[in-house]
Amino acid sequence: MSRRAWELARNQHGVIARRQLSALGFSDDAIRHRISRGRLRSIWRGVYAVGGPEITRRGRWMAAVLACGANAVLSHHTAAALWGIRRSGASFIAVSVPSRTYRRYRGIRIHRRSLPSEDLTRHDGIPVTTPTRTLIDLGVVLGPEALEAAINETDRLDLIDPESLCAAAEGRRRCPGSRAIKHVLDRRTFALTDSELERRFLRLVRRARLPRPLTRQRVNGFKVDFFWPELRLIVETDGLRYHRTPTQQSRDRVRDQAHAAAGFAALRFTHAQVRFEPEHVIGTLRAVAERAPGTLFAAFPVP
């Protein structure tokens, strides 16, 4: 094998395609000779492992892409596994190819469709759908809970934030899976108006049998959403569950640390929790109020 062929195979996780060897100047006889000597081992027609007897999982994924043609990319559950979004226990590799492609291979599930260039990239040297397109594709095959977990993991890995994902799904309304993405995100990135949030939250406060809080007060140099001086309790509400930028997270930590240093309990609830998870909010408020120093929870008047 020439140095350039070895280098190419190393960059492709130990595999190489016949068309790539031909482009590097290898004749058919030279390729057959290396196959007969065991220096090239066939994985799929026209795709070979170079060197040792075993190839890695990524090597097999790369081989599947090479087998399916120059414009093929990993997609669906296999793309999710490559990005680290979701484990794949499937027995086949998912590859997307242009609609005009008619190849078939054992162990490869081919999706024939035309994908725009913005949905295509490389990760670890392997052609693959972007995290955004991967999630939209998963929206077709996963239930709501599994899809939400995949979105959470994508956000945790900083591959895409929920706002950008929501905008991308909105811009791809005709793509299967976009509606499922929107269904999950519309609930979890949901934000109430200030007035509606205040009305809903105060109803939960009454159900928790807490006194009415002050609103939009400045405490320890920061404007807070809800404040109980007698309980030394502060509640902040965030519009997003999944993602806050590093700058926002840093500011939140400074605020929370300032409140803690001054002896205040600071709670954070999302707008979605106030709207969709009221029992959790009520239970948390009651638990914190019961432990408030110098107060008798049972004596709180019902607002």
Q: Are 75 and 88 in contact (CB under 8 A)?
A: no
Using CA atoms, how far apart are residues 198 and 175, in angstroms rounded to an integer?
37
Three-class secondary structure of residue 15 per DSSP: strand
Using CA atoms, how far apart are residues 95 and 117, in angstroms rounded to an integer?
16
| Domain residue ranges in the chain | 1-55, 59-187, 194-299
- pLDDT reading at 300 higher than 70: no
Q: What is the mean pLDDT of residues 182-189?
A: 77
Nearest to 68 by CA among 110, 30, 39, 14: 110
CB atoms within 10 A of CB 47: 24
| Pairing verdict, β 73-74 and 108-112 | unpaired
- pLDDT reading at 293 higher than 70: no
Alpha-helical runs (H) found in the chain: 3-11, 18-23, 28-36, 57-67, 76-83, 131-141, 144-156, 162-171, 178-188, 194-207, 246-261, 271-276, 278-290
Q: What is the mean pLDDT of residues 189-205?
A: 82
Q: Looking at per-residue confidence, does 53 or 91 come out higher?
A: 91
* Amino acid 240: pLDDT: 57
- Express each pLDDT in 97-127 by its tens digit: 998 777 788 999 999 998 999 999 999 999 9
Q: Looking at per-residue confidence, does 300 or 49 come out higher?
A: 49
Q: Which two tokens stand for residue 300?
A: 């709180």
- pLDDT reading at 249 higher than 80: no
* Amino acid 237: pLDDT: 87
High-pLDDT (> 90) share of the chain, %: 58
**Sorting pLDDT into bands at 50, 70 and 90, what band is 206?**
very high
Q: Looking at per-residue confidence, does 133 or 170 come out higher?
A: 133
72, 73, 78, 83 alpha-carbon torsion, rounded to 10°: 170
- Express each pLDDT in 219-245 by its tens digit: 999 999 999 999 999 999 876 555 456
CATH superfamily name and code, 194-299: VSR Endonuclease (3.40.960.10)
Q: To which residue do tokens 């404040």 refer?
A: 227
* Amino acid 198: pLDDT: 87
Using CA atoms, how far apart are residues 154 and 64, in angstroms rounded to an integer?
24
Using CA atoms, how far apart are residues 135 and 254, in angstroms rounded to an integer?
34
**Sorting pLDDT into bands at 50, 70 and 90, what band is 258?**
very high
Terminal alpha carbon distance of the chain: 82
* Amino acid 189: pLDDT: 64
Q: What is the pTM of this model?
A: 0.67
